[in-house]
């Protein structure tokens, strides 16, 4: 985020972008702490929440306020850089805040993280989990002994630069090494990091043998066969740089999926065993978020007769739990995540799990399950389908509505109170609007009135 992406500003604040109409030491301090504790980000001063220009933000007015904001952070947050940018309307100031390996708090004791568009305070157990993650070090930024920049593959680098220009909609004209330092592939003295080797070397497994993927397709629902046989129909080991591994494991998994035909009117449609986005997201997440420190353990993709399991080494990072995984975002490997985002393998930062669940439910599958252990994390997709709901307008359900529809399928009905239990962090009015929308679409039928109201599938 070293350069200002003017197109992204029109989308408003996000998990890595804060917009402030004017400089404020309090607001700046909160943004500094939240971004430093999470995945880093950028604060842009001079724009409102909708990305509209509201007034000039001059650097000489900002320095004193920025110093005051830094002093309100415990320990102080070290910002990356800040620059003035001239837009058609006037001047804005962009402050880059890198992710920190320290745990930061405000002077009043609050520990904030970036949660979507907001800065959220953590509770005691969440603080402990985040502190534990930070104390383990930043492995993807460590130097790889014996590797040099000559080990980066020219073709892979060219592909990345081209994809990055396409994603950011601007041509990169700067120094190549400077960009590789900025994204964390090289250290300041131009030595390859773990992230750099994983992304750009032709065979990272020479240095990091644990970074490969194992794909196994079993004949039944258990990892064993009859009469003591192995029980699998296919086993492949996938190696190479991360982008190549993502593509290869995706093509392998996609090719092994069962395909059925459905006739709608006069058209024949092919239906795959699992929604494409859900599978691809599970695979990409495993590559992005696994703990590459753990030797002797590789990502495993296990395809059974009734389910697909994607298991990555390493427990959930930071303050992330199975309960908040849909709504929160924290990367163990932010440099890898950022690069694969620019490469085009990640559609929008922080929203993949949410959409994975929606895609599964809207295709008639049950909700994916997430199993978090201290040293592994497994996503399971089930191929069994229920009767597909007919959408009145073809619109996409939000994650709350998708969870509610699954609840109705499992329990037969849902009440307003039960809906609030599924989505405790939203307002009663939002709950009411969600349910009214599902009724308007013809997906749910409202039964009863007032406190006796409940909803069933229509």
Q: DSSP letters along 62-109, please?
A: HHHHHHHHHHTEESPP---EEEEEE-SS-EEEEEEE---SS--EETTS
Nearest CA to 317 out of 80, 137, 194 is that of 137
Question: What's the pLDDT score for residue 381?
Answer: 97
Q: What is the mean pLDDT of residues 206-233?
A: 83
Confidence tier at 2 by pLDDT (50, 70, 90): very low
E strand residue ranges, 98-249? 105-106, 112-115, 118-121, 213-218, 232-238
Confidence tier at 8 by pLDDT (50, 70, 90): low
Is pLDDT of 388 > 50?
Answer: no
Q: Do 399-457 and 6-122 fall under one CATH topology?
A: no
Question: What's the pLDDT score for residue 134?
Answer: 83
Higher pLDDT, 202 or 47: 202
**Mean pLDDT for the chain overall:** 87
Is pLDDT of 337 > 80?
Answer: yes
Question: What's the pLDDT score for residue 380?
Answer: 98
Question: What's the pLDDT score for residue 420?
Answer: 86
The CA distances from residue 192 to 148, 158, 288, 351, in Å, are 6, 17, 18, 30
* Digit-coded pLDDT (tens) for 259-268: 765 555 556 5
Is pLDDT of 88 > 90?
Answer: no
Domain residue limits, the chain: 6-122, 141-207, 210-382, 399-457
Tell me how far apart the alpha carbons of residues 394 and 378 are, in angstroms, rounded to a whole number: 31
For CA atoms 17, 22, 23, 29, give the dihedral sign.
negative
Percentage of residues in the chain having pLDDT higher than 70: 90
* Digit-coded pLDDT (tens) for 153-183: 999 999 999 999 998 888 888 899 999 999 9
Domain 6-122 fold is 3.30.950
Tell me how far apart the alpha carbons of residues 308 and 134 are, in angstroms, rounded to a whole number: 32
**Token output for 115:** 């949660």
Is pLDDT of 7 > 70?
Answer: no
Higher pLDDT, 390 or 283: 283
Is pLDDT of 389 > 50?
Answer: no
Percentage of residues in the chain having pLDDT higher than 90: 50
Q: At what angle are helices 334-343 and 154-168 packed, to 10 degrees?
A: 80
Confidence tier at 433 by pLDDT (50, 70, 90): confident
Q: What is the mean pLDDT of residues 230-255?
A: 92
Is pLDDT of 427 > 90?
Answer: no
Is pLDDT of 394 > 70?
Answer: no
Question: What's the pLDDT score for residue 404?
Answer: 86
4-8, 143-147, 151-155, 285-289: which range is least confident on average?
4-8
Question: What's the pLDDT score for residue 370?
Answer: 95
* Digit-coded pLDDT (tens) for 53-80: 887 666 667 888 988 998 899 999 988 6
Question: What's the pLDDT score for residue 76?
Answer: 93
**Token output for 247:** 């593509």
Question: What's the pLDDT score for residue 54?
Answer: 83
Is pLDDT of 278 > 60?
Answer: yes
The CA distances from residue 436 to 333, 357, 359, 361, in Å, are 40, 21, 22, 19
CA-derived radius of gyration, the chain: 24
Pick the CATH number of 399-457 from 1.10.10.10, 3.30.420.40, 3.90.79.10, 3.30.1490.20: 1.10.10.10
Question: What's the pLDDT score for residue 189?
Answer: 95
Question: What's the pLDDT score for residue 397?
Answer: 72
CB 189 within 8 A of CB 136: no
Q: What is the mean pLDDT of residues 307-318?
A: 95
- CATH classification (class only), 210-382: alpha beta
Most confident residue range from 100-104, 153-157, 400-404: 153-157
CB 331 within 8 A of CB 316: no
């Amino acid at each position: 985020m070293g350069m200002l992406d003017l197109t992204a500003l029109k989308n408003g604040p996000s998990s890595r972008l804060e917009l402030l109409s004017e400089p404020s030491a309090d607001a700046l301090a909160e943004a500094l702490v939240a971004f430093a504790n999470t995945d880093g980000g950028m604060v842009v001063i001079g724009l409102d929440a909708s990305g509209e220009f509201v007034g000039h933000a001059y650097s000489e007015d900002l320095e004193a306020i920025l110093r005051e904001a830094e002093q309100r952070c415990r320990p102080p947050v070290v910002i990356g850089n800040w620059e003035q940018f001239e837009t058609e309307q006037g001047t804005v100031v962009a402050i880059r805040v890198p992710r920190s390996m320290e745990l930061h708090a405000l002077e009043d004791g609050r520990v904030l993280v970036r949660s979507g568009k907001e800065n959220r305070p953590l509770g005691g157990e969440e603080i402990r989990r985040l502190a534990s993650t930070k104390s383990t070090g930043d492995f993807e930024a460590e130097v790889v002994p014996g590797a040099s920049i000559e080990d980066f593959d020219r073709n892979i680098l060219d592909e990345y630069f081209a994809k990055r220009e396409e994603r950011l909609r601007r041509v990169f004209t700067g120094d190549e090494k400077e960009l590789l330092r900025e994204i964390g592939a090289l250290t300041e003295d131009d030595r390859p990091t773990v992230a750099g080797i994983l992304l750009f070397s032709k065979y990272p497994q020479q240095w990091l043998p644990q970074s490969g993927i194992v794909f196994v397709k079993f004949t039944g629902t258990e990892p064993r066969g009859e009469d003591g046989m192995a029980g699998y129909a296919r086993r492949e080991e996938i190696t190479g740089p991360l982008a190549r591994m993502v593509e290869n494991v995706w093509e392998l998994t996609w090719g092994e999926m069962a395909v059925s035909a459905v006739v709608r009117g006069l058209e024949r449609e092919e239906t795959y065993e699992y929604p494409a986005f859900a599978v691809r997201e599970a695979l990409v997440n495993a590559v992005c978020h696994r703990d590459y420190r753990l030797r002797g353990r590789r990502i495993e993709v296990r395809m059974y007769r009734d389910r697909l399991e994607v298991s990555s080494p390493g427990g959930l990072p930071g303050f992330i739990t199975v309960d908040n995984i849909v709504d929160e975002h924290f990367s163990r490997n932010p440099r890898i995540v950022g690069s694969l985002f620019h490469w085009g393998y990640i559609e929008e930062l922080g929203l993949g799990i949410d959409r994975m669940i929606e895609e599964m439910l809207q295709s008639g599958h049950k909700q994916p399950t997430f199993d978090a252990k201290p040293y592994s994390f497994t996503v399971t997709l089930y191929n069994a389908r229920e009767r597909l709901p007919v959408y009145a307008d073809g619109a996409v359900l939000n994650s709350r509505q998708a969870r509610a529809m699954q609840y109705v399928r499992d329990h037969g009905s849902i009440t307003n109170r039960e809906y609030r239990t599924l989505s405790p962090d939203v307002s009663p009015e939002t709950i009411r609007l969600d349910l009214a929308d599902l009724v308007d679409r013809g997906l749910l039928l409202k039964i009863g009135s007032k406190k006796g109201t409940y909803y069933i599938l229509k």
